[in-house]
Amino acid sequence: MVEREPGGAGHRQEAPAEPRLSCALVVGADGALGRAVAAWFLGHGWAVVGTYRNEARRQEAAAVLDVRSSGAAGRRLRWVKADLRRAAGAERAVAAGLRWQGRIDAAVHTAGLFATEAVVGGSWATWESMLETNVRTAFELAQAVVPPMREAGGGSLVLVAARAAARAGRGMGAYAAAKSALIRLGEALADELAGSGVRVNVLAPSVIDTPANRAAMPGASREGWRTPEELAAMIGWLALPEAASVHGQLLLA
């Protein structure tokens, strides 16, 4: 738009107002899956708010993301230091997206923690930490992000559980219980939000092909492992208009 400057002699082209970008909040954007999710959204032109807790890990992820997105990360990615086990952390992350782009169109919860421990001789502290990191973080995210999404008329919330939730094998009790609880949280939330435009889906991957898993299982066959990129593409697709009818689903990947 060209506007005449009041009282001015000539014309001056006003800088056009920045158009609002679709905005994704990625919890744990410095993690193996989280950074692939951030890369997917950046690659599709979205603004991304990524949460992190550790500065060294954030810097490493930021460098990778900048290369993968041909420098777009510098312009369309903002980081927020936030521990989602606390309401204040979730609120800070959501507020950053709202201040920047006016709404959050997609929120992706990739925060997670894995541990193996026998039940007998094990510690309740392990169960507590599994529940705090895998479930409470999603609970706090939902408290903070659902009201503004609902007010804006919609959005996509994706929670990342695990296929291991289906049945706990030896040593997997605390982790599988926490991921089961996360799936139940997603189901209840999806029913609560039916018809609101806010869509909630849970992705349950098998083993993800991450550097940490390659190091932990050096001799293992990687058949059936999922790459972070293929999972990120599923998560990203869930935020698109094409997925408007996908709500309350558990996607086994």
Ligand X SMILES: NC(=O)c1ccc[n+]([C@@H]2O[C@H](COP(=O)([O-])OP(=O)(O)OC[C@H]3O[C@@H](n4cnc5c(N)ncnc54)[C@H](OP(=O)(O)O)[C@@H]3O)[C@@H](O)[C@H]2O)c1
Q: Which residues bind ligand X (CB under 6 A)?
A: 27-28, 30-34, 51, 53-54, 57, 83-85, 110-114, 133, 137, 160, 162, 205, 207-208, 210, 213
CA dihedral 89, 48, 134, 86 (to 10 degrees): 0
Closer CB to ligand X, 89 or 155, in the complex: 89
Give the shortest CB-85-to-ligand X separation in angstroms.
4
One-letter amino acid identity for 158?
V
CA 99 to chain CA centroid, Å, is 18
Pairing of strands 23-27, 155-160: unpaired
Give the shortest CB-147-to-ligand X separation in angstroms.
20
Closer CB to ligand X, 84 or 104, in the complex: 84
Half-sphere exposure of 183 (CA within 13 A, CB side): 19
Closer CB to ligand X, 53 or 78, in the complex: 53
Measure the CA–CA gap between 18 and 145, rounded to whole angstroms: 24
Closer CB to ligand X, 15 or 171, in the complex: 171
Asked if residue 154 lies in contact with residue 238, where contact means CB atoms within 8 angstroms, the answer is no
Give the shortest CB-110-to-ligand X separation in angstroms.
4
Q: Please name the helix (run of DSSP H) or strand (run of DSSP E) that holds residue 33, with its range, or none.
A: helix 32-43
Closer CB to ligand X, 112 or 236, in the complex: 112
Give the shortest CB-32-to-ligand X separation in angstroms.
4
Give the shortest CB-195-to-ligand X separation in angstroms.
28
Report H helices in 113-172.
124-131, 137-152
